[in-house]
Amino acid sequence: MTKVVTRRDALTLVGAAAVAAALPVPVQQVLANVPAARGGVFVVGTEGERDWQIFHASDAHEAILDAVEEWSGFRDCEEGGGPKVECDCDFCYKFSQFDSQRVKEWDDRDLDKITEADWVRVGMCAPCSRCGWDEAYPSDLVVIEEKVVCWDCLTEQENEAFDRTRC
């Protein structure tokens, strides 16, 4: 069955196009960058690795699916359907390797402005800004003036200012 385009339909389309064209460019850019209402912020990566990325998702499973899709280009198992334990395709392998953590503190943040210090504040790893050591546990790191610093790089004054028992 074909739908006949009525005069009302045509005028509605023309009106919508005129309104969109009349919007100032910054407003159009803002509207284009508004994330869909997809839930909260999750970080997804491999435990013990520095491959963690930020995703908006409705839940942890969805966040991992988004990460695997970005990594492999697939959203489903190559044999069809969701991830399978016994399958060794790229999708299923990476899905089994990834872990996700919810980061409520970042829900209202501009995710492009998340810093290394922000990662440390939520209990994740980040490289030391002074020596570059990137295998430190979060408990080995402190944030000083928005810079991540490992315990070994602290000056004597900085070391006295921090109570190591709180970590």
Grade residue 37 by pLDDT with cuts at 50, 70 and 90: low
pLDDT tens column, 127-152: 999 999 887 788 889 999 999 999 99
DSSP assignment of 79-119: TSSS--TT--SHHHHHHHHEEEEE-GGGTTS-GGG--HHHH
Q: Taking phi first (over 0 means left), then psi (-120 to 50 degrees means alpha), and beta for anything else, what does residue 7 get?
A: alpha
pLDDT score of 20 more than 70: no
Identify residue 63 by its one-letter amino acid code.
Answer: A
Sequence ranges of the domains in the chain: 115-167
The model's pTM: 0.67
Q: How confident is the model at residue 70, as a pLDDT?
A: 92
> Under a CB-based contact definition with an 8 Å cutoff, are residues 100 and 63 in contact?
yes
Q: Give tens-digit pLDDT for 65-104.
A: 999 999 888 888 888 888 888 888 888 988 999 999 999 9
User: What's the per-residue H, E or C state across 127-139?
Assistant: CCCCCCCCCCCHH
